[in-house]
Amino acid sequence: DDLKADHVFPIAGPPCFLDDALWQFNDIHGDEGNIFPDQSVFLAEYAKVGGTNGIVLLPGSVAEVTTQGASTTHPVPVEEFFANKVAHLEEMRERKRPIIEAEKASWRHPEVDVLGEMKRRIEPLLDESIYLAKGVGGPVRFDLVGTDDSGGETVESIVVDFPGKEVRPYADEKVRYRFRTDRALIEHLLHIGEVDWVNSLFLSCRFSAARIGQYNEFVYAFFKCLSEERLQYAEGWYDEHERAVDAEDITIGDWVVQRRCPHLKADLSRFGIVDGDQLTCQLHGWKFDLPSGRCLTSVGHKVRAHRADEQTPAPAGEALS
């Protein structure tokens, strides 16, 4: 709508999950909460708002776009394809099963000392991290599920302790963020030296997660930067923006506050609302107590604020200390 697009291509192809462990994510079970809709679902919703210029691409489709228009050819009629979607997925699953099983078998590396390798790789990054570690603000627990010699389930719990700057066994303490996944996946990531656990693990749907409080982007930002080069880039970005944007103030209602949210620098002139003595950043839902500046959502974040009819408070460095 913003671009006044002549043609709309919803997605490059219908999403498909062929591994038995992920089969439930296919949009074939009538689940309105499924987050992987195919083009037919998009076009149905698009039509509700008057959209008539959507173009579907199937495996093997060819679209030719010119200044005069667009033409598309398909290997089978679109309606027929989606009518037979379940059969198509089942056939493809069986055809790809040997490839999938071979790939999954390659993940297992029992020779890897997971705790030792995580300590070796992650602890130096924790030592170097300032902004990301502060942003996470607490321990992150990984529950790694494996099997013993008799086929029974085993669970090893490892904590990445951001305040303590160490990786250690879980000590039965309360943690704010928790992930549960197959031990083999972490073995594989350590074996291949993967530096981006977000794209390789957290987008895989092969884990479960729990948290206390709001979603925290810093958790994922850190695990996307598991190399010195990546970490330094991220830390430098936060350092530059911390110094560049925290000096500006805006007025919201009866309060003068720093323009950028201490969480992820959202513009509070757009996303900030004040209700009494409480500021809420609507972009991520983080809340702050304005008289004290204390963050009510997470530790390690403080907002600079004073009443509009009062004098300017201490400089930012003192106010945020």
The residues spanned by each domain of the chain are 20-105, 114-232, 247-319
Contact 258, 267 (CB under 8 A): no
Q: Where are the alpha helices (DSSP H) in 159-280?
A: 183-192, 197, 217-223, 228-245, 268-271
Q: Does residue 56 register a pLDDT over 90?
A: yes
What pLDDT does 86 receive?
A: 94
Pairwise CA distance, residues 30 & 276, whole Å? 44
Q: Which residue has the tokens 């030719």?
A: 64
- pLDDT tens profile 224-252: 999 988 998 888 877 766 665 567 899 99
- Residues 71-105: tens digit of each pLDDT: 999 999 999 999 999 999 999 999 999 999 999 99
Give the CATH number of domain 247-319; options: 3.40.47.10, 1.10.10.60, 3.40.630.10, 2.102.10.10: 2.102.10.10
Cβ neighbours of residue 284 closer than 8 Å, sequence gap 6 or more: 214, 215, 217, 261, 263, 264, 266
What pLDDT is recorded for position 245? 54
Amino acid 90: pLDDT: 97
Global pTM value = 0.69
**So what's the architecture of 114-232 in CATH?**
2-Layer Sandwich (3.30)
**Are 88 and 26 a contacting pair, CB within 8 Å?**
no
- Alpha-carbon separation of residue 117 from 110, 111, 181, 189, 192 (angstroms): 12, 11, 17, 10, 12
Strand-pair partners of 181: 144, 207
Confidence of residue 214 (pLDDT cuts 50, 70, 90): confident
Residue 5 burial (10 A CB sphere; 0-12, 13-18, 19+): exposed
Percent of the chain with pLDDT over 70: 93
In this prediction, residues 187-191 reach a mean pLDDT of 97
